[in-house]
Chains A and B, each alone.
Chain A
Amino acid sequence: MQPELALQFANVTTIVVGAAIVLGTITAAIMEGRAVNRAFDNMARQPSVADRIRGLIFVTLALLESTAIYVLLICLILLFANPFAGAFGF
């Protein structure tokens, strides 16, 4: 019985980590694309504020990226430092 549960734990963890990473990165990428899209449109419409927008783009992208980084950190914890792994013999 014990090896069956350990295999199931490993499978479920892997599938969940894969799904979480996919969802996290897709959301971050889509939202960053929309932000940059709107920023580029307005930079082309008003070249005088182009410099200010260019400075803000990088900070905004880093802030949006950090949500994807949070998802990555949770997945790393689940894979390498899983607190429940000891009960299954890992």
Chain B
Amino acid sequence: MGIESAFPQVLWTIGGVPIKDSVFFTWLIIAVLLVFSALAFRKFSAEKPATWQLAIEYGIEYVESLITDTIGRTLPQTVPYLATMLLYIGLANILGLFPAMRSPTRDINTTAALSIVSFISTQYYGAQHRGIKKQFLSVFEPVALMFPLNLISIISRVMSMALRLFGNVIAGEIVGLTIFSLVPVFVPLVFYLLSMITGLLQALVFTVLTIAFIADAMKLDE
């Protein structure tokens, strides 16, 4: 069991398309979140909130406080998307620490997809705020000469977000495998704690950076 097992393996093929374990565990996370949402949202009430409702409202207020702390104003239309990203990435990073499960974010394809979706969301909210034509021409702002620099900044943002998330998760997995092969008994627990902390922290950093990029694309000061 070498280092190669830290990288995603193909589980089975459906009609000639290979399904990697990262795809399978993404489906698992989607199923878990859907079931949880369906069960928890059935008994919402404003007068007598149940415990789950209070917990969910606390989570939503946390995301709104993130937005306010980062850019100084509230963007209520982005809260559902950002809460979903935070929940999914946090859960996906933690999933590898449970027995018989692996994190989907240790696949560069997953993190690249998340980063591209984040970029598309910045353009979407920017277009919602400023109009589609102005958003498409935003690469030429403030001067048409800035086009190469704007393009480079877009590419570097997408790449850095994808590589940051992937690098943190895969480094945690490889270090865990190496330590486990050396001292299998109690030392891996320390690295489990470290992986848990960095997994949640990277989910937070991804969300905060997405907030900053959305606010930048919306050009809120003009």
| Chain A interface, number of residues (Cβ within 8 angstroms) | 14
> Which stretch, A1-9, A27-35, A40-48, A69-77, touches the partner chain B?
A69-77
Smallest beta-carbon distance A68→chain B, Å: 9
Measured CA separation A68–B204 after assembly (Å): 19
Question: Which positions in A face B, CB cutoff 8 Å?
Answer: 52, 55, 58-59, 62-63, 65-66, 69-70, 72-73, 76, 80
Smallest beta-carbon distance A7→chain B, Å: 22
Say whether chain B's binding surface is mostly helix, strand, loop, or mixed.
Answer: helix
Collect the chain B residues with CB atoms within 8 Å of residue A62's CB: 164, 201-202, 204-205
Say whether chain A's binding surface is mostly helix, strand, loop, or mixed.
Answer: helix
Whether B141 is near chain A, meaning CB under 8 Å from some CB there, is no
Say yes or no: A59 contacts B205, CB within 8 Å.
yes
Smallest beta-carbon distance A85→chain B, Å: 15
Say yes or no: B164 contacts A55, CB within 8 Å.
no
Collect the chain B residues with CB atoms within 8 Å of residue A66's CB: 160, 163-164, 167-168
Measured CA separation A81–B176 after assembly (Å): 20
Measured CA separation A46–B160 after assembly (Å): 34
Smallest beta-carbon distance A55→chain B, Å: 6
Of A55, A69, A76, which one neighbours B69 at CB under 8 angstroms? Answer: A55
Say yes or no: B163 contacts A70, CB within 8 Å.
yes
Whether B208 is near chain A, meaning CB under 8 Å from some CB there, is yes
> Which B1-51 residues have C-beta < 8 A from chain A?
3-4
Knowing A52-B69, A69-B171 are in contact, say whether A58-B201 is a contact too (CB < 8 A).
Answer: yes
Smallest beta-carbon distance B158→chain A, Å: 14
Chain B residue nearest to A73 in the complex (CB): B167
16 extra interchain contacts, Cβ-Cβ under 8 A, other than A66-B160, A66-B163, A66-B164? A52-B69, A55-B69, A59-B204, A59-B205, A59-B208, A63-B205, A66-B168, A69-B163, A69-B164, A69-B167, A69-B168, A69-B171, A72-B171, A73-B163, A73-B166, A80-B4
Smallest beta-carbon distance B166→chain A, Å: 8
Smallest beta-carbon distance B215→chain A, Å: 15
Say yes or no: A58 contacts B160, CB within 8 Å.
no
